[in-house]
């Protein structure tokens, strides 16, 4: 008999997908192809038409979704509690309802507001701490995105290890995205050397470390333009960082902030970079490190929290609190990048390299638990 299960896709209603919405989208793509489970996609307890979910995936955005949802709330009854009691539910982000379904599992991405409260405001810490405790206590199983996150959940909430498992996140590239990026790898279309710094602009991402380094070695900015790829976060981090360049001997046009960009643009920027930099103080997983490694790019990466688990063979690690280690890592990455240029890789080569790092294992672990209930 086909198992009936719920997958909460509330994160897909965000207009600009980064982080968790991209994770949810990847799981939904696999769920749509899985004939062994009768998946019901929901926003809280409201079942969503599959065509709406497919539309989100096609446009890679939840734009227009809230208008559709406001009508659905009137037209479609929520899942009755008697029916819910016979169903398994997976919550890939927060749990908007608790103990409503017969069996409930949640994906825990990180405990950053608790483990690194210095990078969050007080309201966010208080809200997260109260919400996550209830989410953990009311879940029959927790899928943690890294061993580091599982260890944190065990330490802070005492959740038995038997009720948790690690699911490794994945990355998959569309052939057309790689084709567009690979075109720029041709020698006749060579671009000025640059490095990419990936992640939302906020203090936890530790972008200030790069500016510290540029103030001691402005020559790096003459060899490489520094491109920050990611949307603005809180505390107006961009203005704060740029103000530090005054008098440092680094021209402002050597630093570029892209803001939010499409997957195609992001892939092309990473693929054509000399190497990537990921200086974050704390991550639940670090998807950009996986994506860069799957492309064959070297990443100068913090050795904290989960990041050493992600793609160690393609990383040059450093302590994010030690500027000297960061400087050494940059020099090492510069040498490695010069020896392992991506030029000459075809799209098929890139797809073959990325194939072992897809979402199959992640989804399979979730599906296995659902079918065992």
Question: For each successive 10 residues of the chain (373 residues), what is the average pLDDT?
Answer: 90 92 96 96 96 95 92 92 96 94 97 90 85 95 97 95 95 81 53 86 85 90 91 67 73 87 87 93 94 93 96 96 96 86 69 91 97 95
* Domain ranges across the chain: 3-170+358-372, 175-356
26 touches 359 (CB < 8 A): yes
User: CB count, 10 Å around CB of 66?
Assistant: 12
- Distance (Å, whole) CA 53 – CA 30: 13
What SS3 state is found at 371? helix
Query: CATH number of the domain at 3-170+358-372, out of 3.90.180.10, 3.40.50.2000, 3.40.1190.20, 2.102.10.10?
Result: 3.40.50.2000
Question: What integer pLDDT is reported at residue 188 of this predicted model?
Answer: 44
Q: Taking the complete model, does pTM exceed 0.85, yes or no?
A: yes
- Distance (Å, whole) CA 128 – CA 122: 10
Nearest to 185 by CA among 272, 267, 266, 268: 272
DSSP state letters, 21-55: HHHHHHHHHHHHH-TTEEEEEEETTEE--HHHHHH
As given in the structure block, the two tokens for residue 217 are 């070695």
Strand order in the sheet with 194-198: 255-257, 225-229, 194-198, 276-278, 299-302, 315-318
| Neighbouring residues of 71: CB distance < 8 A, sequence distance ≥ 6 | none
Cβ burial of 332 (10 Å; 0-12, 13-18, 19+) is: middle
- Cα 158 to chain centroid, rounded: 26
Query: Could you check whether 3-170+358-372 and 175-356 share the same CATH topology?
Result: yes
Q: CA separation (Å) from 260 to 18, 192, 199, 243, 321?
A: 9, 22, 10, 22, 27
Query: Number of helices and strands (H, E) in the chain?
Result: 16, 13
Cβ burial of 348 (10 Å; 0-12, 13-18, 19+) is: exposed
Question: What integer pLDDT is reported at residue 184 of this predicted model?
Answer: 54
| Neighbouring residues of 21: CB distance < 8 A, sequence distance ≥ 6 | 11, 12, 14, 62
Question: What integer pLDDT is reported at residue 360 of this predicted model?
Answer: 95
| Neighbouring residues of 248: CB distance < 8 A, sequence distance ≥ 6 | 211, 214, 215, 218
Residues 129-132: contacts with CB under 8 Å, at least 24 apart? 131/94, 132/108, 132/157
- Distance (Å, whole) CA 217 – CA 197: 17
Report the CATH number of the 175-356 domain.
3.40.50.2000
| Neighbouring residues of 13: CB distance < 8 A, sequence distance ≥ 6 | 43, 56, 62, 65, 66, 69
């Amino acid at each position: 008999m086909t198992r009936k299960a719920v997958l909460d896709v509330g994160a897909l209603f965000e207009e600009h997908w980064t982080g968790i919405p991209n994770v949810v989208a990847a799981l939904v793509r696999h769920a749509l192809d899985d004939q062994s489970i009768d998946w019901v996609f929901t926003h809280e307890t409201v079942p969503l038409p599959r065509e709406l979910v497919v539309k989100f995936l096609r446009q890679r955005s939840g734009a227009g979704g809230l208008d559709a949802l406001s009508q659905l709330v009137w037209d479609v009854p929520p899942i009755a509690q008697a029916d819910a009691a016979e169903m398994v539910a997976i919550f890939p982000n927060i749990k908007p309802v608790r103990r409503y379904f017969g069996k409930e599992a949640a994906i825990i991405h990180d405990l950053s507001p608790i483990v690194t409260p210095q990078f969050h405001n007080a309201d966010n810490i208080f809200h997260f701490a109260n919400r996550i405790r209830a989410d953990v206590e009311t879940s029959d199983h927790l899928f943690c995105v890294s061993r580091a996150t599982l260890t944190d959940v065990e330490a802070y909430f005492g959740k038995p290890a038997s009720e948790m498992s690690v699911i490794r996140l994945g990355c998959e590239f569309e052939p057309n995205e790689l084709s567009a990026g690979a075109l720029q790898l041709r020698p006749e279309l060579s671009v000025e050397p640059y490095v990419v710094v990936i992640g939302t602009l906020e203090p936890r991402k530790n972008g200030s470390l790069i500016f510290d380094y540029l103030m001691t070695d402005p020559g790096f900015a003459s060899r490489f333009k520094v491109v920050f790829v990611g949307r603005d976060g809180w505390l107006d981090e961009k203005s704060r960082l740029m103000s530090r360049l005054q008098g440092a001997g680094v021209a402002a046009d050597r630093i570029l902030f892209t803001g939010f960009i499409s997957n195609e643009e992001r892939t092309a920027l990473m693929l054509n970079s000399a190497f990537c930099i990921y200086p974050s103080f704390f991550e639940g997983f670090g998807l950009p490190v996986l994506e860069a490694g799957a492309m064959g790019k070297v990443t100068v990466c913090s050795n904290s929290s989960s990041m050493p688990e992600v793609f160690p063979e393609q990383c040059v690690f450093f302590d994010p609190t030690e500027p000297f280690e960061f400087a050494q890592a940059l020099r090492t990455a510069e040498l490695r990048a010069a020896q392992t240029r991506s030029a000459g890789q075809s799209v098929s080569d890139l797809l073959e390299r990325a194939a072992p790092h897809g979402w199959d294992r992640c989804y399979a672990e979730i599906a296995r638990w659902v079918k065992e209930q």
